[in-house]
Amino acid sequence: MTQSFGFDTLQIHAGARPDPATGARQVPIYQTTAYVFRDADHAAALFNLQEVGYIYSRLTNPTVAALGERLAALEGGAGAVCTSSGHAAQLMALYPLMGPGKNIVSSTRLYGGTITQFTQVFKRFGWSTNFVDTDDLAAVEAAIDENTRAIFCETIANPGGYVTDIPALAAIADKHGIPLVVDNTTATPYLCNPIAMGATLVVHSTTKYLTGNGTVTGGAIIDSGKFDWSQNDKFPSLSAPEPAYHGLKFHETFGSLAYTFFSIAIGLRDLGMTMNPQAAHYTLMGVETLSLRMEKHVANAGKVAAWLEKHPAVEAVTYPGLDSSPYKARAERLLPKGAGALFTIALKGGYDACVKLVDSLELFSHVANLGDARSLVIHSASTTHRQLTPEQQVAAGAAPNVVRLSIGIENPEDIIADLEQALAKASA
Ligand SMILES: *Cc1c(COP(=O)(O)O)cnc(C)c1O
């Protein structure tokens, strides 16, 4: 599928062609574990990576491959790998770059579970994370040392209505010969293309807007195909001979697809965090309407945020589309189609008012999720960010008096009416 089609066309057609066996127009759910080899030579060529084809669904599956191709097209990448969840995508994204004693430089403003993954779990692999305020570019540079293997950030940082200056971070990453990895979950490729701004890798929790209906967990890594893995000796998994494939060098052999091939042939094969074909099917269905949904999410979020900002019980609204946001200008530059639909409100009544608000909302669902067609609410400090220290909570935009809203695609007046009745109870 050529890159010259527009976004609305690609979100329906990229990666999908009529099924060669049946002519089925929609991508079939290839519910199979294994694929029959033509003969012994064919099997050997596949196992040696001399020929590309299907072996076993832990590595590749045609339904999952269609989704990967579609996401690569939408993000403007060379290749993509789908995973069982967004967290799996993060681990899989860093795995080819890292090793014991290596570190990443990461934004402090992240999804709560990501902070826990980076600080608690990666530690057991001997990986460490240097957290920095990514608005302080000098601090970002100062945090990079000879063992740094990537810079990590989120486009619209969850939960705080913060927009990351991706081009500035990409320039620093380039200067140090390391990739910039951007979690683009909250913006989606419709609102932002990190690769066009210099990112090397994009990760997604497809669980969120890409699927858009709260049905399945999934993740994806999209490789720009533009990073020179042989420019230094920092990335031996991609540039040096690979013992698990008879000394094959991924970068030399696969060029711009080196990272994608490694992530399938080693990452999925040996870590096994594979997306299943049912999940890929649901996400393919969701992606077909991504642009339409994002337009509506953004329009609703703008109306709801502007209304909330005027409410007497509300102390602050972090929506980057508001004139009052310190990130308004950056949002207009990096997210010209809209600043997403995820933001927080701080309540004058503090922690107790937040809990009351969450319990009083009726149309909003109180769930640990975002990016659903439904409007969602969560009190981050008592849920997703409760494992963090008070300082980490504040740094992550999840202070105790803050509630996160994920604005859905219902009628905006209904969303506002629900907030109005709940705020009345919360401030009574
Ligand atoms: C949800 C989320 C994740 C984790 O994804 P899962 O699919 O839940 O594993 C990572 N990053 C962001 C920004 C998210 O919203």
First-to-final CA distance of the chain: 57
Long-range contacts of 44-50 (CB under 8 A, 24+ apart): 48/245, 48/246, 49/245, 49/248, 49/253, 49/261, 49/265
Q: What is the pLDDT of residues 226-249, one digit of tens each?
A: 999 999 999 999 999 998 888 999
Based on the fold, state whether residues 266 and 415 are members of the same structural domain. Answer: no
Q: Report which residue type is found at 257.
A: L
Is residue 1 included in any domain, yes or no? no
User: Looking at residue 422, what is its pLDDT?
Assistant: 98
Give the integer Cα–Cα distance in Å for 289 and 210: 9
Based on the fold, state whether residues 216 and 256 are members of the same structural domain. Answer: yes
Based on the fold, state whether residues 294 and 329 are members of the same structural domain. Answer: yes
The response to whether residue 405 sits with its C-beta less than 6 Å from ligand 1 reads: no
Give the integer Cα–Cα distance in Å for 88 and 214: 18
The response to whether residue 219 sits with its C-beta less than 6 Å from ligand 1 reads: yes
pLDDT average, residue stretch 113-128 = 95
Give the integer Cα–Cα distance in Å for 281 and 137: 41
Based on the fold, state whether residues 163 and 227 are members of the same structural domain. Answer: yes
Is residue 81 included in any domain, yes or no? yes
Count of residues making up the chain: 428
Give the integer Cα–Cα distance in Å for 56 and 39: 16
Residue 172: band (very low, low, confident or very high) from pLDDT cuts 50, 70, 90: very high
Tell whether the model's pLDDT for residue 41 goes beyond 50: yes
Q: What is the pLDDT of residues 400-425, one digit of tens each?
A: 999 999 999 999 999 999 999 999 99
Based on the fold, state whether residues 184 and 238 are members of the same structural domain. Answer: yes
The response to whether residue 186 sits with its C-beta less than 6 Å from ligand 1 reads: yes
Chain centre to alpha carbon of residue 129? 18
Is residue 117 included in any domain, yes or no? yes
Tell whether the model's pLDDT for residue 190 goes beyond 50: yes
Based on the fold, state whether residues 298 and 150 are members of the same structural domain. Answer: no
Of 264, 286, 308, the residue at which a domain comes to its end is: 286
Give the integer Cα–Cα distance in Å for 105 and 131: 6
Based on the fold, state whether residues 116 and 216 are members of the same structural domain. Answer: yes
Compute the distance from residue 217 Cα to the ligand 1 centre, in Å.
9
User: Helices H, strands E: what count in the chain?
Assistant: 18, 14
Beta bridge partners of 156: 163
Based on the fold, state whether residues 179 and 114 are members of the same structural domain. Answer: yes
Based on the fold, state whether residues 177 and 299 are members of the same structural domain. Answer: no
User: Looking at residue 395, what is its pLDDT?
Assistant: 75
Of 242, 259, 286, the residue at which a domain comes to its end is: 286
**What's the number of domains the chain is made of?**
2
Tell whether the model's pLDDT for residue 51 goes beyond 90: no
Based on the fold, state whether residues 278 and 319 are members of the same structural domain. Answer: no
User: Looking at residue 47, what is its pLDDT?
Assistant: 86
- Can you tell me which atom of ligand 1 is nearest the CA of 157? 13
% of the chain residues with pLDDT over 90: 86
What is the pLDDT of the chain when averaged over all its residues?
95
Instruction: Ligand 1 pocket test: pick from 208, 367, 383 the residue with the most ligand atoms within 8 Å of its Cβ.
Output: 208
Nearest CA to ligand 1 atom 8: 86
* CATH number for the domain harbouring residue 99: 3.40.640.10
Q: Is 215 helix (H, G, I), strand (E, B) or coil?
A: coil
Compute the distance from residue 5 Cα to the ligand 1 centre, in Å.
29
Q: Is 319 helix (H, G, I), strand (E, B) or coil?
A: coil
Tell whether the model's pLDDT for residue 318 goes beyond 50: yes
Residue 1: band (very low, low, confident or very high) from pLDDT cuts 50, 70, 90: very low
Q: What is the domain range of residue 409?
A: 290-426
Based on the fold, state whether residues 294 and 227 are members of the same structural domain. Answer: no
User: Looking at residue 3, what is its pLDDT?
Assistant: 54
Based on the fold, state whether residues 221 and 311 are members of the same structural domain. Answer: no
User: Looking at residue 335, what is its pLDDT?
Assistant: 97
The response to whether residue 111 sits with its C-beta less than 6 Å from ligand 1 reads: yes
Q: What angle do CA 424, 425, 428 make, to 5 degrees?
A: 80
Q: What is the pLDDT of residues 139-157, one digit of tens each?
A: 999 999 999 999 999 999 9
Nearest CA to ligand 1 atom 12: 111
The response to whether residue 158 sits with its C-beta less than 6 Å from ligand 1 reads: yes
